[in-house]
Amino acid sequence: MVAESWRDRPTAVQLALLTDPDPRVRAAATKFARPGIPPEHHAHCLADPAVQANVARRLPLTPDQFARLLETGNRSVLHAVAGNPNLTADMVVRL
């Protein structure tokens, strides 16, 4: 799949992949840290079940985003959040 193998793709291509109707394409587009997710798409991706775990493991989270991810109860998402290096001390305590 192009989204998994072409990691130095332009932003326009990444945006097209992030908004693709196929959840497998969106998941592949967020599997790796590069090329990343533009800030204006963070909230959308964090709300998308197809990519939540992928993005929850590396995006800086606001307290509200963190709380919403915990509320999912999805083990994959919770595990991803727990591995996020951007968590605040308060967030770590809540885990």
Neighbour count for residue 34 (Cβ, 10 Å): 8
Q: What is the pLDDT of residue 2?
A: 74
CA–CA gap between residue 52 and residue 45 (Å, rounded): 6
State pLDDT tens for residues 46-73. Answer: 999 999 999 999 999 999 999 999 999 9
Q: Please tell me the pTM assigned to this model.
A: 0.87
Q: Judge contact between 1 and 28, C-beta under 8 A.
A: yes
Q: Where are the domains of the chain?
A: 2-94
CA–CA gap between residue 95 and residue 74 (Å, rounded): 13
Burial class (CB in 10 A: 0-12, 13-18, 19+), 87: middle
